């Protein structure tokens, strides 16, 4: 498996706070059968400005340390970018990192407020040759309220990454239910841990994989979103998806609490 979303690069954002913490996480990732991890510290303008050069130097230092620990996981560079109207320009200037030096970028949007200029920004990103991936859509309020809103984003040319922890209830009942609806309707193209700390996701991967297969009922699809598609990011290959269909079963769309 390949983890395309993690915050275990030490001392750069709200993730790992020490080298020991990072080493421990990578050992657990290796035990959970991950072969590659893309390190994606936040890029949030004016807050966590983890630039491409800064991350590159940190990762090179970390690679030396994991070599000493006999950890054979391959590390790759990336960012989780909080999308703004400045994102296309930052990418053009190579200030922020794509995933594993590919055309793919990982971005997030505000959790509670809908971005009405999202389509315009995505158009500019794609026009420059990048392929956008939306992080953890199950955590955004307006997608929880109606998962069909995600279909509109996908139709703009966006791929989707959900968090393993969402299926284990890490973020609560609503997020878990939303993630399961997305999985059942094949609206997820990648999974990532989004891990920030020790002691949760990597240790529980086998149980989460079992849950994924129970919800989806399609082992081939689970392999695709955990391994096949993430490998295409590393190789900078195109990923082709079917045009998503509207979720028509209201029981699978709306939640009432």
Confidence of residue 81 (pLDDT cuts 50, 70, 90): very high
Q: Is 15 exposed, middle or buried (0-12, 13-18, 19+ CB in 10 A)?
A: buried
Average pLDDT for residues 54-67, to the nearest whole number?
95
Backbone angles phi, psi at 178, to 5 degrees: -65, -45
What homologous superfamily does CATH list for 2-252?
Answer: Metal-dependent hydrolases (3.20.20.140)
Ranges of each domain in the chain: 2-252
Residues 6+ apart with CB under 8 A from 90: 43, 81, 96
Confidence of residue 6 (pLDDT cuts 50, 70, 90): very high
Average pLDDT for residues 148-172, to the nearest whole number?
95
Q: What is the value of pTM for the model shown?
A: 0.94
Extended strands (E) in the chain: 2-3, 36-39, 42-44, 48-49, 74-77, 80-82, 104-108, 131-135, 159-163, 190-192
**Would you list the DSSP string of 221-248?**
HHHIIIIIHHHHHHTT-----PPPPPP-
Distance CA 227, CA 1 (A): 5
Confidence of residue 256 (pLDDT cuts 50, 70, 90): very low
Task: Give the bridge partners for 80, in sequence order.
Answer: 42, 106
- Contact predicate 164/200, CB 8 Å: no
Look at residue 121 and give its three-state secondary structure: helix
β-bridge pairing 48-49 and 42-44: antiparallel
Average pLDDT for residues 222-226, to the nearest whole number?
98
């Amino acid at each position: 498996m390949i983890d395309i979303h993690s915050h275990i690069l030490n001392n750069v954002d709200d993730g790992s706070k020490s080298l020991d913490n990072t080493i421990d996480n990578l050992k657990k990732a290796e035990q959970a059968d991950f072969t590659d991890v893309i390190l994606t510290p936040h890029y949030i303008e004016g807050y966590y400005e983890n630039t491409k050069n800064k991350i590159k130097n940190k990762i090179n230092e970390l690679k030396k340390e994991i070599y000493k620990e006999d950890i054979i996981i391959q590390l790759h560079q990336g960012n989780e970018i909080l999308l703004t109207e400045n994102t296309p320009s930052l990418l053009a200037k190579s200030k922020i990192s794509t995933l594993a030096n590919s055309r793919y970028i990982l971005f997030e949007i505000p959790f509670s407020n809908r971005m009405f200029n999202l389509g315009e920004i995505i158009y500019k990103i794609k026009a420059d040759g990048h392929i956008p991936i939306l992080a953890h859509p199950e955590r955004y309020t307006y997608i929880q309220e109606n998962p069909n809103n995600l279909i509109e984003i996908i139709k703009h040319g966006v791929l989707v990454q959900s968090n393993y922890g969402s299926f284990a209830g890490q973020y609560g009942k609503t997020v878990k239910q939303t993630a399961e609806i997305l999985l059942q309707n094949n609206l997820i193209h990648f999974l990532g841990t989004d891990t920030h700390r020790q002691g949760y996701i990597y240790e529980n991967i086998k149980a989460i994989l079992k849950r994924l297969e129970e919800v989806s009922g399609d082992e081939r699809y689970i392999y695709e979103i955990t391994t096949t598609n993430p490998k295409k990011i590393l190789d900078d290959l195109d990923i082709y998806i079917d045009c998503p269909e509207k979720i028509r079963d209201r029981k699978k769309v709306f939640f009432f609490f």
